[in-house]
Chain A
Amino acid sequence: MPSATSGQTIGPFWHLIEHPEWADLTRFGAAGERIILTGSVIDGDGNPVTDAAVELWQADPPADDRFPGFGRSRTDERGEFRFTTLKPGPVPGRGNAQQAPHFAITLHARGLLKGLVTRAYFAGDPLNDTDPLLSMIDDPNRRATLISRPEGQDRWRIDIRMQRGPNAEPETVFLDI
């Protein structure tokens, strides 16, 4: 049997398959607590990454005809992505563990030969303290890169740094899945 097919970069011209409405996961009429998740993608020089595809997946609320659970946003000329979606609740972890509410996020871009995976949790959620992934990361500055911050009502921000920044801003925690 063949091993899994190799990845190759999404390149700078992936917008040919971009449909901006995909960034709104509520567009099919999903009911629930609507929030915006936004942030910018930043490279190792501190410059915005303006040609990325940011993909979001959430296992909760469960996907159905009115809620796809999946979204895709371009980054704009400021490196910013923006999703409108429903706030996820906690989901089961392995064994008896429970996971704090989170989004899975994959970054695809020119210069990435394969997708770069991370997560976005919610600041202040009491389950963060016992979340299995967050508990694995000892350095509080790096753990904080996985946690979105409130930015006005129903709006959350998480910046994604592909490398440590010029002013020692920590690199986002990326996941080997």
Chain B
Amino acid sequence: MESVRDQASFRPYAPGTQPPYDAPAYGSTHKRHPRESLVKLPHTITEVSGPSFSPAHFPSIPDLSVVHGKSALGERVIVHGRITDEDGRPVPRTIVEIWQANTAGRYQHPGDQHDAPLDPNFVGEGRVYTDEDGWYRFTTIKPGAYPWRNHENAWRPNHIHFSFFGSGFAQRLITQMYFPGDPLLELDPIFLSVADATARNRLVSKLDMTVTQPEWALGYRFDVALRGREATPMEG
């Protein structure tokens, strides 16, 4: 169902809303950021088209809080939100990938050597799709904070990793969702790498009592906007 709109270039990002490649306070960027200028590439079919994923090939994993019928330890939470483009149009039937640490702040990953317990009933991988109106929802455990070696006594705030595809390769977005009121946010070079405070604070989810289930789980809302398209097709 490709429309003329699907052939249009994506608009540039608003200034200050995306982190830089070179972020001196985040040590891992030192040897991994380009030093040469990027080459500006007007969008072509390669950038405006993109993959689509179907639940038939890539099944949903909407509940991270239970593994083989056994509940993970920690604070159960429901996370939901709406994915739109910058014009407010919903992004329907798009895949959302999720991954995170367990309640103790430990990833089920051989590279994570933090001295905190693994939970046999928690893996930390999720995958959901938006509905026709751009809404997604999953159930998980609130991840713990954990130390990292970026600087003396560095700790990451509680966060959930998200991956979005949208409808075109240039819309690809990988980000992290944070939790409201976390005092570690103001100390975190990754969060603070986004210069624009309004954009940065949109990475912080909001407590949402409308999806909070009594006697069961708190709800949080995290809305996401993917790049909008120009009004006219790129060949026009």
Q: Is there an interface contact between A171 and B99, defined as CB atoms closer than 8 Å?
A: no
Residues of chain B from 127 to 179 with CB closer than 8 A to chain A in the complex: 127, 161, 163, 169-170, 172-176
Which of under 10, 10 to 19, 20 to 34, or 35 or more describes the interface residues of B? 35 or more
User: Given A10-B174, A70-B50, are A2 and B86 also a contact pair (CB < 8 Å)?
Assistant: yes
Residue A30 lies at the interface, judged by CB distance under 8 Å to chain B:
no
User: Given A8-B203, A91-B44, A99-B44, are A45 and B31 also a contact pair (CB < 8 Å)?
Assistant: yes
User: Given A2-B225, A4-B86, A8-B203, are A113 and B39 also a contact pair (CB < 8 Å)?
Assistant: no
Which of under 10, 10 to 19, 20 to 34, or 35 or more describes the interface residues of A? 35 or more
Q: Can you list 17 residue pairs at the A/B interface with Cβ under 8 Å?
A: A3-B14, A3-B17, A5-B226, A8-B190, A13-B99, A13-B101, A13-B112, A16-B99, A43-B31, A57-B50, A91-B44, A92-B45, A113-B23, A114-B21, A116-B34, A136-B39, A177-B47
A51 to B28, CA, bound (A): 12
Q: Is there an interface contact between A70 and B51, defined as CB atoms closer than 8 Å?
A: yes
A55 to B26, CA, bound (A): 23
Which of B32, B35, B40, B47 gathers the greatest number of chain A CB atoms within 10 Å? B32
Report which of A14, A28, A108, A112 forms a contact with B99, defined as CB distance below 8 A. Answer: A14
Q: Is there an interface contact between A4 and B13, defined as CB atoms closer than 8 Å?
A: yes
Residue B46 lies at the interface, judged by CB distance under 8 Å to chain A:
yes
Q: Is there an interface contact between A93 and B44, defined as CB atoms closer than 8 Å?
A: yes
A51 to B36, CA, bound (A): 23
B164 to chain A: closest residue by CB: A5
Q: With A2-B202, A2-B225 given, can you name 12 additional A-B contacts, CB distance below 8 Å? A: A4-B86, A5-B175, A5-B202, A6-B194, A8-B191, A16-B107, A17-B99, A28-B57, A112-B33, A113-B19, A114-B174, A163-B31
Q: Is there an interface contact between A174 and B38, defined as CB atoms closer than 8 Å?
A: yes
Which of A11, A173, A176 gathers the greatest number of chain B CB atoms within 10 Å? A11
Q: Which residues of B contact A (CB under 8 A)?
A: 10, 13-14, 17-21, 23, 26, 28-36, 38-47, 49-53, 57, 86-88, 97-101, 107-109, 111-112, 123-125, 127, 161, 163, 169-170, 172-176, 190-191, 193-194, 196, 199-200, 202-203, 223-228, 234-235
Residues of chain A from 79 to 124 with CB closer than 8 A to chain B in the complex: 91-95, 99, 102, 104, 106, 108-116, 119
The DSSP consensus for interface residues of chain A is loop
User: Given A14-B161, A112-B29, are A5 and B124 also a contact pair (CB < 8 Å)?
Assistant: no
CB neighbours (8 Å) of B161 from chain A are 8, 10-11, 14
Question: Smallest distance from the beta carbon of B125 to chain A beta carbons, Å?
Answer: 5
Q: Is there an interface contact between B111 and A113, defined as CB atoms closer than 8 Å?
A: no
Question: Smallest distance from the beta carbon of A60 to chain B beta carbons, Å?
Answer: 8
Q: Is there an interface contact between B44 and A94, defined as CB atoms closer than 8 Å?
A: yes
Which of A10, A16, A133, A136 gathers the greatest number of chain B CB atoms within 10 Å? A16
CB neighbours (8 Å) of A31 from chain B are none
A114 to B199, CA, bound (A): 15
Question: Smallest distance from the beta carbon of B160 to chain A beta carbons, Å?
Answer: 11
